Structure 1
Amino acid sequence: MHITTGDKVRIAYRFDGADHLPALILSNSIGTSYRMWDGTAEQLARHFRVLRFDTRGHGASGVPPGDYSLDRMGRDVLELMDALGIERAHFLGLSLGGFIGQWLAIHAPQRIGRLILSNTAASLGPDGFDQQIAAVRAAHDMRDIAEGFLERWFPAAMLQADGPLIGHFRAMLLATERQGLAASLAAVRDADLRRTVRLVDAPTLVIAGADDTVTSARHGAELAAAIPGARLLTLPTVHLPNVEQPQAYLRAVLQFLH
């Protein structure tokens, strides 16, 4: 299923869970589709009407030209909610999805119930992003880029075992068009919410990974300190705790949302 945004971009989405349950939106890391939540959504759908979507440039969504912006990505979510008749929803965003969650809570606070910001930051740029974007655009394919992302996302033991979960995420990265990845990296490069994130008044849980090399535990602590009343949970993981520590992650999410 999909909608078409005001700027004519296809946004693919999927629902799990009964219609009468409260809405929970899941938002993905860069380089993945909504299937990054496969191990989490089934259990969350026992409690919530779970809406997953592919960020523009990823999965089955459109890949428009040019650089993307956090503002446009946030508006994609609002247009999706409007089209599906969702007035208000809880929101769980990881990495890039966490940037989108911050934007929504700042610019459309009436649409967000409880907010979970996982393995993300108020700002990561701009240092190093232009080189990374240039490397993505110059690459012949996604193979080396995919392996680089996997090395930053998972602990060495999981990578060495190269089990089905690693294969699942490798396949998502390989299926991502270089334009979509580069354009989304530009959105992260340009995003700086360090001042405005203080305006967030939604009940907020920040989840950080103690060994995260993409968005460090320090980024998570700074984000939690900036949002009034936010809670901070640091897990013994790298960048994708929903995969590395799924039960601990799910338990924390459910306890906060209930």
Structure 2
Amino acid sequence: MWEECVVGGQVELFVAYAGSGDLPWLLVIHGGPDWDHSYLREPLAKMIGTHRLLLPDLRGCGRSARGLPLVNYHPDAVVDDLLTILDSFDGATADVLGFSYGGLLAQRLAITAPLRIRRMIIASSSVLPVPADSYQNWPERALACAPEREVWASPSAPEAERTRAAAFAGARANIWRSEALPEYRRRVGAVRFSADWDRARRAGALPSARIDNPLRRLSETGIPTLLLHGRYDMAFPATLAEQTAGLLPNAEAVVLDNAGHMAHIDQPDR
């Protein structure tokens, strides 16, 4: 079902793809960013009957080029990479799904090349900045997030292994339903983690992926946008998705109950 290739451009980019015929492309941008695409393959594989799927590993991630100079880890460079991938697959236009950090990159892609995007899903991410006090009245979140924070505070483990350990430690912060925890851990176990983007961040070389004036600029693109969110997301508040839908004319929000940040694992059928 899945095929794999390497796309050459400014850097070598690993891409998993599936589907055939004249169906529309769905370009999927993973988060992390020091993860890879694999944790998003399901349940998106169920869309092969309606779309051709493109799931790349971002530069510095998974099986794409790693060990680049720190200045090469830049959101605009990723936008160039994504357009190169679309061109390589003759994708004049595509639907785009950006998950978590990938949702910020999707917005940057949208304002850079609006004519290349037919529709957009911003999943488990946000258009508006996250206020510092968003979670101050949610003590359960502090408890759930504490194990991952401890991992990041420890300098002992090798960098990529620390990324992996943080992902496992963040299970309760990413998954709302206890029944979904084994599936989350299975997927995390298959991810090829890196630490290139985190090295750039710690060195002060990584600019924010957020776009300026997002409501105005995304509205100007006219791209129909779905804000897809878990009600109990501990990384990006679900209330921001609902607030954005009321302010962005071309957007609607769907908030899934009994789902956290990894809503596609908590509620795959939805």
How high is the TM-score relative to the length of structure 1?
A: 0.80
CA–CA separation in structure 2 for the residues paired with 1:103 and 1:136 = 30
Q: Aligned match of 2:241 in 204, 215, 220?
A: 220
- Which amino acid in the other structure matches residue 18 of structure 1? S
Structure 2 gap ranges (5+):
133-148
In the alignment, what sits opposite 1:121?
A: 126
Q: Report the CA distance shift for 1:61/1:47 in structure 2 as closer, same or farther (over 3 A).
A: same
**Cα contact 2:29–2:55 (8 A) shared by 1:** yes
Q: Deviations over 1:207-237 (max 9, x none)?
A: 1211001111123234334432210111121
In the alignment, what sits opposite 2:211?
A: 193
In the alignment, what sits opposite 1:243?
A: 265
In the alignment, what sits opposite 1:5?
A: 9
**Stretches of 4+ moved more than 3 A in 1?**
123-127, 134-139, 180-189
User: Which is helix-richer, 1 or 2?
Assistant: 1
CA–CA separation in structure 1 for the residues paired with 2:105 and 2:166 = 23
CA–CA separation in structure 2 for the residues paired with 1:123 and 1:157 = 30
In the alignment, what sits opposite 1:58?
A: 61
**Cα contact 1:198–1:228 (8 A) shared by 2:** no
Matched, 1:169 2:224: no
Equivalent pairs: percent with the same residue? 23
CA–CA separation in structure 1 for the residues paired with 2:176 and 2:233 = 9
Q: Aligned match of 1:229 in 211, 227, 250?
A: 250
SS at match of 2:38: helix
**Cα contact 1:209–1:235 (8 A) shared by 2:** yes
SS at match of 2:269: helix
1:82 shift after superposition = 1.6
CA–CA separation in structure 2 for the residues paired with 1:224 and 1:190 = 23
Matched, 1:91 2:93: no
Q: Deviations over 1:151-182 (max 9, x none)?
A: 321126147xx52442222441xx31222444
State the structure with more CA Rg.
Answer: 2
* Structure 1 vs Structure 2 CA RMSD: 2.8
Q: How does 1:120-139 map to 2 (within 5 A)?
A: 120-122=125-127, 135=152, 138-139=155-156
In the alignment, what sits opposite 1:256?
A: none
Q: Aligned match of 1:102 in 104, 107, 113?
A: 107
CA–CA separation in structure 2 for the residues paired with 1:228 and 1:215 = 21
The count of aligned residue pairs is: 237
Q: Report the CA distance shift for 1:151/1:170 in structure 2 as closer, same or farther (over 3 A).
A: farther
1:52 shift after superposition = 1.0
Q: Aligned match of 2:29 in 21, 27, 30?
A: 27
CA–CA separation in structure 2 for the residues paired with 1:231 and 1:163 = 31
